[in-house]
Chain A
Amino acid sequence: MVPVAVVPAAAGLTVATEDPRVTAATDRPIIAEFVDVHRHYVMGKDNVVRALNGVSMQVRKGDYLAIMGRSGSGKSTMLNILGGLDRPTTGEYRVGGRDVGKLDDDALSDVRGREIGFIFQSFNLIPQLTVLENLEVPLFYQGRVGPESRAKAQYLADRVGLGKRLEHKPMELSGGQQQRVAIARALMNDPLFLLADEATGNLDSNTEREILDLFDDLRKDGVTIVIVTHNPKVAERADLTLWLKDGQVEKLVDNRAAAPAAGGAP
C-alpha cells in the first residue's frame, strides 16, 4: 500500500483515467459521479471532522464496484452520500444527471426511491410486514402498488431464490433468505444501481458466498452494483475496488487485471 499524504482534488478521476483497463470501459454511460466531494462535520467550535476531503469518482452503467477502507476512512460517509441520505458539504454528487446537493428533501427522497436500491448489513426488513409487503414498500412511495407490483415481487422473489415465501414474516426466514428479500426489494424500483452496505457482514461464510454468487448473477444481467465493505474477500469479487483513506481516494484497483482469466466488461 502506498501511503498518500496529500492527494490532489481530482485524484480519483486521475487514477481512473490513467488505468487503461478502466478507461476501456468509458464508453458506458456514467450514472453516478462524485466531483471533488467534501463532507465536513462541525463537531465543536474548532473541531471540524473532514470525513470526505475531495473525492472524485464515477460509477458507470454495468460497473461492479467495491469501496474499501478501514473504519474512519470515510466509507460510511461516502455510502450515505451515494445513497442520497446525505449531501456533500461542497462539491457535486450527480446521479441520474441531477446534482443531489441542490435537491430539496422531497426530491432527494425521490432519488432514493427511484434511482437507488439499498441493501443493508442487517437486512432492514420491516418486521410487521410480510415479504410481499416489504417488497412493495419502495413502490408504495411512488404510488405504484397494485397487481403489477405483486407480479413483479413474485418475479423478483423467484429471481433471488425465495420461491413461495411471499406471505412469510421476516422473522420466519433465515439470515440468507432475509438478505435475498432485501436484494429483491432493492430491485423492485429498477434502480440505476444497487448500493450494498456490508451486505454479507451478518452472514456465515457459506451464505456469504451464495449472496455474492447472486450479485454475480445480477451483474451478468446488467445490474450496476456498488458495494461498501471492509472485507477483502467481498471486495475482490468486484471488478473494481476503490480504496479510501482519510477521506480521500487512495487508489482504484481493477481486480480483473489481477485475475488471469478476467475479461472486459460487456
Chain B
Amino acid sequence: MIGDTMRIVRLGLKSLLLHKLRSSLTTAGILFGVASVIAMLAVGEGASKETLQQYRDMGVTNVLVRSKKPEETQQSTNASSMWNVLGYGLLYQEADRVQNLLPQGIVVRSREFQRGVVHGEHWASTMIVGTEPPFLEVTNMKVREGRWITELDMQRQTNCVVLGESLARQLFPLEDPIGQTVLIGVEDRFEIVGVLEYQGRAASPNGTTLDECAFIPLTSSRRRFGDTIRNPSTNRWENIELHEIKVKMPGPEWVESAAGVVDLMLKPAHGAKKDTEITVPLELLRKEERAERMFSLVLAVIASISLLVGGIGIMNVMLATVTERTREIGIRRALGAKKKHIVQQFLVEAGVMSTLGGLVGVGLGLLVPLGIEKYFEQPTEVKTQHVLMAFGISALVGVVFGLYPAWRAANMDPVEALRHE
C-alpha cells in the first residue's frame, strides 16, 4: 500500500519532469501565494503586536483618568498674556472621591511638569513626575538599583528622586548615580535613591518615555514646585493639581464599571470643559484585537486570492496535460486502469505541484519577514497556525483545482483516447 503510494508519487514527479519549465512555473504560482500569505500575516501580526503590548503595559486592570488641556476658546486666546493663569484638570479632592467610590481600587495620583535636571556638566530637560509609592506596582515597573519612593518620603516630603534608565545614563555616564544629587530646576537639589529598569514605553501622551522621567514624591513636588507651573512649551502659567489618576482594579472584570463610576463622578465638573479624559487600556486592547483580527482577515483574503490564482494555474496546466496525454490515458485504461486510478494519477500530479510549491513557499514566507525586520525595521511575527494554514490551503488548492482535470481524464472514452494523436 505504501509502496504503491510511493510509486504513484514518483510517477507524478516523473510526468512533471517531462515539462520542467511548465511545472516549475505552475509550482511558483503556489509558492508565491503561500509565501505572500505567510509574510502578509506576519507583518500584520507584528504591526499590531507593538500596539497590543503598549495597551497591556498600561495595565489591563487599570482605569486611567488624565487631565487634558481644554480646547482654547476665542476668548482665552485673546487673553493669553503671560499673567493669565490657565486652570484645568483633576483635583486632589477628586482623587479622594474616586478612592471613596472605588474602595477596591488602588488610586495613584501624579503631577507632571517639564524641568531641567542637572548633574555637574550633564544636563537634561525632561519630565518630572511627582507621584506616590503604588505607582511602581500600578505601572508595572521595576527598580534596578536602590529603592523606590516610600510612604516616609511622602510624609516627610523628602527631596529624593528615582531616575528612569536612560536619564540615569545620560546624567551619570560613568558613575553610580545612587546617593548622588541632581538639581531639578534652578534651586531644588534632590538625592538619587533609585534607578529604574529599562521600560521602553511611553509615560504620557506627549511621547516622553518612562525611561527619560525623574520620579519624585508627590508631596515634595507640590511643596517645591506648587500647582501653578509655567509650561515652557506654551510659555503660559497653568494651574493643574493632578495630571493623572490611575486606578488599579482587582481584576479586568471590574474595569468597565469602574470607568463608568469615574465618568459619572467627573461629569458635573469636567463634562462641559472637556478637560479630563478616561482611558481604559482593556477596552483599547480589545478594540485593537478586533481591528487586528479584521486586518488579518483582509490580509488573508488578499493573500488567498494569490493562492486562488495559483490554483487556476494548476488547473490550466493540468487540463493541458490531460489533453496532451490523452493517449497515455487510453493506454492505461486498456491495460486495466480503473477511473479511480486515472483520477488518482492526475490528482497526485496536481497535489505534488501544489505541495512542493507550498513547502518552498513556507520557506520563503519565513525568510521574507526576517528581511522586512532587518531592512525596514518593521516588527513581524510569524505564527505557527498561519504557516500551517497557508500550507494546508496550498495542498488543498492542488487537490481542488486538480479534481476537474482528473475527472475529465478519467471519463474519457478509452477507444477515443487510444485513437488520439
- Which A residues lie at the B interface, using CB under 8 A? 80, 83, 85-86, 105-106, 109-110, 112-114, 118, 120, 124-126, 128-129, 137-138, 140-143, 145-146, 185, 189
Tell me the complex Cα distance, A185–B11, Å.
18
- Which B residues lie at the A interface, using CB under 8 A? 3-4, 7, 11, 14-15, 17-18, 327-328, 330-341, 414-415, 418
A145's contact among B7, B17, B337, by CB below 8 Å, is which? B7
Q: Given A86-B415, A128-B14, A128-B15, is A112 in contact with B3 using a C-beta cutoff of 8 Å?
A: no
Interface pair B4/A80, CB less than 8 Å apart: no
Tell me the complex Cα distance, A83–B15, Å.
27
Q: Given A85-B415, A143-B4, A145-B7, is A109 in contact with B15 using a C-beta cutoff of 8 Å?
A: no
Q: Can you name 24 A-B residue pairings with CB atoms under 8 Å? A: A85-B414, A86-B415, A106-B338, A106-B340, A109-B338, A110-B338, A112-B334, A113-B335, A113-B337, A118-B334, A118-B335, A125-B331, A128-B14, A128-B18, A129-B11, A137-B331, A137-B335, A138-B336, A141-B332, A141-B335, A141-B336, A145-B3, A145-B7, A146-B3
- For the complex, would chain B's binding face be called helix, strand, loop or mixed by DSSP majority? helix
User: Residues of B contacting A140 with CB < 8 Å?
Assistant: 4, 7
Q: Which 8 A-B pairs have the closest CB atoms?
A: A113-B336, A109-B338, A141-B336, A138-B335, A124-B331, A85-B414, A106-B338, A112-B336
User: Residues of B contacting A118 with CB < 8 Å?
Assistant: 334-335
How close is B328's CB to chain A, nearest CB, in angstroms?
6
Interface pair A85/B418, CB less than 8 Å apart: yes
User: Residues of B contacting A83 with CB < 8 Å?
Assistant: 334
Interface pair A106/B339, CB less than 8 Å apart: yes
Interface pair B338/A105, CB less than 8 Å apart: yes
How close is A17's CB to chain B, nearest CB, in angstroms?
31
User: Residues of A contacting B330 with CB < 8 Å?
Assistant: 124
How close is A193's CB to chain B, nearest CB, in angstroms?
14
Residue among B327, B336, B337, B414 having the largest count of chain A Cβ atoms under 10 Å: B336
Tell me the complex Cα distance, A210–B415, Å.
28
Q: Given A120-B418, A140-B7, A145-B3, is A109 in contact with B337 using a C-beta cutoff of 8 Å?
A: yes
Interface pair A112/B7, CB less than 8 Å apart: no
User: Residues of A contacting B418 with CB < 8 Å?
Assistant: 85, 120, 124
- Looking across the interface, which residue of chain A has its beta carbon closest to that of B10? A133
User: Residues of B contacting A138 with CB < 8 Å?
Assistant: 335-336
How close is A143's CB to chain B, nearest CB, in angstroms?
7
Residue among A110, A113, A145, A189 having the largest count of chain B Cβ atoms under 10 Å: A113
User: Residues of A contacting B337 with CB < 8 Å?
Assistant: 109, 113, 141
How close is B120's CB to chain A, nearest CB, in angstroms?
83
User: Residues of A contacting B328 with CB < 8 Å?
Assistant: 126
Tell me the complex Cα distance, A142–B14, Å.
21
User: Residues of B contacting A109 with CB < 8 Å?
Assistant: 333, 336-339
Interface pair A124/B415, CB less than 8 Å apart: no
User: Residues of B contacting A189 with CB < 8 Å?
Assistant: 336
- Looking across the interface, which residue of chain B has its beta carbon closest to that of A136? B7
Tell me the complex Cα distance, A106–B338, Å.
5
- Looking across the interface, which residue of chain B has its beta carbon closest to that of A107? B338
User: Residues of A contacting B333 with CB < 8 Å?
Assistant: 85, 109, 112
Known: A106-B340, A128-B15, A141-B335. 9 other contacts (CB 8 A): A86-B415, A109-B333, A112-B333, A112-B334, A124-B334, A125-B331, A126-B332, A128-B17, A129-B14
- Looking across the interface, which residue of chain A has its beta carbon closest to that of B18? A128
How close is A110's CB to chain B, nearest CB, in angstroms?
7
Interface pair A141/B338, CB less than 8 Å apart: yes
- Looking across the interface, which residue of chain A has its beta carbon closest to that of B336? A113
How close is B247's CB to chain A, nearest CB, in angstroms?
74
- Looking across the interface, which residue of chain B has its beta carbon closest to that of A197? B418
User: Residues of A contacting B331 with CB < 8 Å?
Assistant: 120, 124-126, 137
How close is A129's CB to chain B, nearest CB, in angstroms?
7
Tell me the complex Cα distance, A120–B338, Å.
20
Interface pair A185/B335, CB less than 8 Å apart: yes
Tell me the complex Cα distance, A52–B35, Å.
59
Tell me the complex Cα distance, A109–B336, Å.
5
